Chain A
Amino acid sequence: MNPLLRKTLRDQTRSLVAWGIGLAVLVAMYAAFYPSVRDSAGDLQGYLERMPEAFRNLIGGDFTSPAGYLRSETFSTLGPILFLVFAIGTGARSIAGEEEGRTLDLLLSTPIRRRQVLFDKWIAMLVSTAALSVVVGLTIVLIGPAFGLRVPLSGLAAQCLMLFLLGMAFGTIALAVGSGTGRKGLANGITGAFATVAYVLNVVAPSVKAVEPLRPGSPFRWYLEPDPLVAGLSLGNVAVLVGIAALAYLVAAVAFERRDLRA
């Protein structure tokens, strides 16, 4: 393994472990709630009927089946939000963080190309994002059955893969803004704002005619529809998220190669 990748992976180990434990605890906690939510589903359903449509879209409508519950509680709300906080933060920090911390100068004074630095940082982000999605999947597999939460393994794997790809899409956008500008705050801000708008857009689009045509612009639409837990992997959706990440990576590579580093 090349030295920069090894160093970057080692640097992020501590925060990755903390994130992994945090995510596992949250997912396990939600799994533990499943039996009581399922048993009071009748009440909940009536409650939901009286809620605005957008809210129902947000949290999903079906709490009784394990897949419906997981989709509502884990994979369409808390899961992607936490995942994106992690991935966007990692992407923004990768180049711009080193640049603002002024450590990038010494790193680039060694015999390593800028594009290699970018690639190693991106691979490190890929490894940690993949590790976290495995943690989410494993937690459900290991803890879920204790609370009656059983879903087909193939569906769960597809869902975790999509979560990983969603993280990589937004993480790479943050990497592109950061390596194009050298500003970590800007990378976090722009990507975070885009993620928020895209999330809200995907939630309200089904019930608001005016924004419905914009829905394909939201990566969340490709992440969630059709439900990977039930329908399995949609190659088209995979292609869209991979495409976003690839395009963002290309922008990052070109911008970083051409740019003056900040003093």
Chain B
Amino acid sequence: MTIRQEAPVLSAEGLTKRYGSERGVTDLTFSVAPGEALGFLGPNGAGKTTTIRLILDFIRPTAGSVRVFGLDPRREGVRVHRRVGYLPGELALYERMSVEAYLRSFADLRGDVPWSSVQELADRLDLKLTKRIHELSHGNKQKVGLVQAFMHRPELLILDEPTQGLDPLVQQTFYAIVEEERERGATVFLSSHVMPEVERVCDRVGIIREGRLVTIADIGRLKARALRRIEFHFERPVPASAFGSLPGVKSVSVHGDSVLLSVEGPVDAVVKEAARHPLVSLETREPSLEEAFLAFYDPGQPS
């Protein structure tokens, strides 16, 4: 696959937005290739929503630029928005409308959206079209947001905290729909403060903290940097010093016949050392993205 060589669907170059003294974003540079899914991960207030609002031309950059399909969203907003599906983080709908009237007016605003595609999405999400929006639970409102984001089969999906308030069953449906859209070739830009969401949907993740992009990496590579815990159970006690000086080992503790290690990066040296002693069993576990994430946020850890 040579996906990365194609012109990016979404790119930012030194993108900066300053509000007085408040939160903003500083010098963001990233790009998303066609068909790729990039997750923006960070706590609330880190600048995820600001980035999305810049991409959609709701706010204008203080410095730097953003391009969508190679177009300037400021000058070519209509052409950009036609090909984008957007789910806002803080969804606000026209409360007095019925779900059907709401979705019909958005289908009209977008133009050529087959009503059958709206109905199909609503059916899958188990959303009743006849209800008034103010009667809906938070989760059901979120479904209305999802339907309007997906109904025109957009080439780029911009999803701000998409599974917020969805019950687990609907989350699964949501993931299935995103996967189908990706198979169709859609590109995804997703923001979240929930690790599993990013891990589930995205190929790459950008970690954003206080408006700056701390790192942007393949999820696999990021996990590799995270600390991995390994527990060896030997036939007889092995001294901590056997492991303490090996490359990547961050901590060692000995409990009787067991040795518990935290290892960063490849475990090769550790495993080879363990093999020199009579070994009963070993336990290890894939670090979650959450642990990788925490490593970035722990000031004690180099980032």
Contacts and interface: CB of A to CB of B under 8 A. Distances in A.
A51 interface: no
Contacts of B57: 108
B115 interface: no
Contacts of A260: 58-60
Interface string B50-94: 100100111110000000000000000111011010101011111
Contacts of A107: 109
A101 interface: yes
Contacts of A6: 105, 108
B111 interface: yes
B138 to A, nearest CB: 14
Interface residues of A, number: 21
B189 to A, nearest CB: 13
Interface in A107-138: 107-114
A261 B50 CA distance: 11
B92 A103 contact: yes
B148 interface: yes
Contact of B53 (A4, A110, A111, A261): A261
A108 B92 contact: no
Given A3-B108, A103-B92, A103-B94, A109 B56 contact: yes
A102 B109 contact: no
Contacts of B59: 260-261
Interface residues of B, number: 30
B109 A103 contact: no
B49 interface: yes
Given A105-B58, A106-B86, A260-B58, A112 B78 contact: yes
Contact of A112 (B53, B94, B109): B109
Contacts of A4: 109
A101 B92 CA distance: 7
Nearest to B106: A110
A113 B53 contact: no
A114 B74 CA distance: 11
A117 to B, nearest CB: 10
B221 interface: no
A110 B58 contact: no
Interface of A: 3-4, 6-7, 11, 101-103, 105-114, 260-261, 263
5 contacts: A6-B108, A103-B94, A107-B109, A110-B106, A111-B77
Interface of B: 49-50, 53, 56-60, 77-79, 81-82, 84, 86, 88, 90-94, 96, 105-106, 108-111, 145, 148
Given A106-B88, A106-B106, 10 more contacts: A6-B105, A101-B92, A102-B88, A102-B90, A103-B93, A105-B53, A105-B58, A109-B56, A113-B78, A261-B53
